[in-house]
Amino acid sequence: MSGVYFHIPFCKQLCSYCDFHKNISLTAKNEMLSCLKKELEQRHNYLPDRNISTIYFGGGTPSVYQPEEIQELIDATANYFSFSEDIEITMEANPDDLTSDYLQKLQQTAVNRLSMGIQSLHADDLKLMNRRHSDKEAVTAIKNAQKYGFDNISIDLIYGVPGLTISKWEENLNRIFELSIQHISAYHLMIEPGTVFYQKVARGKLSEVEEELSIQQFKLLIDKAKENGFEHYEVSNFCKKGMYSKHNTAYWQQKPYLGIGPAAHSYNLHEREWNISNNKKYMQGITTRVACSEKEQLSTSDKFNDYVLTALRTKWGLNLKRVEKEFGEKQYAHCLKMAEKHIKNNNIRIENDTLILTDKGVFVSNDIMADFFWV
Ligand SMILES: C[S@@+](CC[C@H](N)C(=O)[O-])C[C@H]1O[C@@H](n2cnc3c(N)ncnc32)[C@H](O)[C@@H]1O
Ligand code: SF4
C-alpha cells in the first residue's frame, strides 16, 4: 500500500499561524504544474510498488489550480502507477475557492475526498488568523460540496487560539457537527517561528492561551465528537465509522509514499528524502536535473522512533510483537519498561500485546511518547 503526495506551494494570502511552504505570488503556477509532472516522470521508481492506494494534494492551497489541472496531475500519476479499486484521492481546499462552478467541475475529476481548512466559524478568529473567508462562506462551501456529490469531507479546525473562549469553541463544534461531515482534524495552535503569530508573541502583542483552557477545549472536542458518533482514531483526528484518512493512516503505519513538489517528503521504507523548500530552486533543479533534495538513510533507532511516535498516536496502538520482530529484544524490553508506569497511572492500556493510549493518556500523549523515544 503506497501513496503519492503532491505539495502545491502557493497561497493567495498568508495565514498568521502557518509555516507550511508556500509562495503568495502565483505567477509560476503553470511552470510549476509542468515541473510536478516532470518530477513524477523522474522519480516514480522511488516507490517499491507499482500500485497506489492514495493520492493527496496538500499545500499550500491545491485549489489555486483549476479542477482540470488537478486531473492532469492524476492522469500523469496514472502513467506510472496502477490505482487500487478503492483509491482515495484527497484534495485540500480553501473554502473561498470552492464556488459552485469549481465544485461542479471538481466532481467530474477523480478527486473523491475534500479536506477544507475552516479553522473557526467566528469572524474575529478568522480575522486574527488572516483567513480569506467568512464563517458563512465556509458553511456554504461545505453545503455546496455535499450538494454536488462529495460524500467524504474532512474539515480542519484550530483550538487554543488567543481569544477563543470555551463557549466560542463549543459554538464552533456545534455548528460543525450539524453539517453531516465525515471527518475532522482539529489541531492545537502551534506558534511557529517565521509566522506573524510568532512575531506578535515575541513583541508581547499576542499571548498564548493558558494550558488549562487548551485542555478544556480538547476535552470538549473529544466529548462532542463522541456524542456525534465520531471515532477518535488519532490524537488530532476524528471520523464517522470507517471514514479514516487512508493517506494519513498509511503515514502512521509506515507505508511508503512519494512526495512530489517543493518541500515534499518521501519515504520508501529505508530512507527519507525531502525536496528543497524554494519554488524557484525546485523548478530549476527539476528542469536541469540537478539534485534539489536531501536524503537520510534511516537507522534501526530512527525506524523504531518513527514507529513509536506514530503508532502511539493512533487507536491501533503500538504492537509489542512487531517491536520484538522488527527491532529486537532490547527495544521490546525498553517498551515494556516505559509502559509500566503509564499502565499503572491509567495512561496506557495493554490489549492483545498492543499498547494503546487511554482517554486519560491522550491528554499527555507528548510526554508519554518522549519516554518511549530511543536515543
Ligand atoms: C497546510 S494547511 C492546508 C490547508 C489549506 N491551505 C487551508 O488553509 O485551508 C493544513 C492545516 O494545518 C493546520 N495548521 C497549519 N498551521 C498550523 C499551526 N501553526 N497550528 C495549528 N494548526 C495548523 C490548519 O488547520 C490547516 O488547515
Ligand atoms: S493555512 Fe492554508 S491557506 Fe493559510 S497559509 Fe497555510 S497553507 Fe496557505
Q: What is the grid cell recorded at 345? A: 497511572
Q: What pLDDT score was predicted for residue 291? A: 86
Q: What pLDDT score was predicted for residue 253? A: 94
Residue 241's contacts (CB-CB under 8 Å, 6 or more residues apart) are 229, 231
Separation between Cα atoms, residue 353 and residue 322, nearest integer Å: 9
Closest atom of ligand 2 to 119 CA is: 1
Nearest CA to ligand 1 atom 27: 117
The 3-state secondary structure of the chain, one letter per residue: CEEEEEEECECCCCCCCCCCCCECCCCCHHHHHHHHHHHHHHHHHHCCCCEEEEEEEEECCHHHCCHHHHHHHHHHHHCCCEEEEEEEEEEEECHHHCCHHHHHHHHCCCCCEEEEEEECCCHHHHHHCCCCCCHHHHHHHHHHHHHCCCCCEEEEEEECCCCCCHHHHHHHHHHHHCCCCCEEEEEECCCCCCCHHHHHHHCCCCCCCCHHHHHHHHHHHHHHHHHCCCEEEECCEEECCCCCCHHHHHHHCCCCEEEECCCCEEECCCEEEEECCCHHHHHHHHHHCCCCEEEEECCHHHHHHHHHHHHCCECCCEEHHHHHHHHCHHHHHHHHHHHHHHHHCCCEEEECCEEEECHHHHCCHHHHHHHHCCC
Separation between Cα atoms, residue 46 and residue 275, nearest integer Å: 14
Confidence class of residue 204 from pLDDT cuts 50, 70 and 90? very high
Nearest CA to ligand 1 atom 4: 117
Nearest CA to ligand 2 atom 2: 60
Q: Please work out whether the CB of residue 117 comes within 6 Å of at least one atom of ligand 1.
A: yes
Closest atom of ligand 1 to 197 CA is: 19
pTM above 0.75, yes or no: yes
State in Å: Cα 112 to ligand 2 middle: 21
State in Å: Cα 345 to ligand 1 middle: 33
Q: Please work out whether the CB of residue 217 comes within 6 Å of at least one atom of ligand 1.
A: no
Nearest CA to ligand 1 atom 9: 117
Separation between Cα atoms, residue 109 and residue 3, nearest integer Å: 18
Confidence class of residue 283 from pLDDT cuts 50, 70 and 90? very high
> What average pLDDT score do residues 68-93 get?
98
pLDDT in tens, 96-121: 999 999 999 999 999 999 999 999 99
**pLDDT of 234 strictly over 90:** yes
- Which amino acid makes up residue 72? E
Closest atom of ligand 2 to 92 CA is: 2
Nearest CA to ligand 2 atom 7: 60
Pocket test of ligand 2: the residue of 6, 10, 18 to mutate, having most ligand atoms within 8 Å of its CB, is 18
Ligand nearest to the backbone CA of 158: 1
**Hey, what's the torsion of the CAs at 298, 246, 60, 117, to 10 degrees?**
-140
Mean pLDDT across the chain: 97
pLDDT in tens, 134-189: 999 999 999 999 999 999 999 999 999 999 999 999 999 999 999 999 999 999 99
> What average pLDDT score do residues 280-286 get?
97
Confidence class of residue 344 from pLDDT cuts 50, 70 and 90? very high
State in Å: Cα 217 to ligand 1 middle: 18
Confidence class of residue 224 from pLDDT cuts 50, 70 and 90? very high
Pocket test of ligand 1: the residue of 20, 134, 185 to mutate, having most ligand atoms within 8 Å of its CB, is 20
- Which amino acid makes up residue 87? I
State in Å: Cα 10 to ligand 1 middle: 13
Q: Please work out whether the CB of residue 189 comes within 6 Å of at least one atom of ligand 1.
A: yes
Neighbours of 293 (CB within 10 A): 17
State in Å: Cα 93 to ligand 2 middle: 10
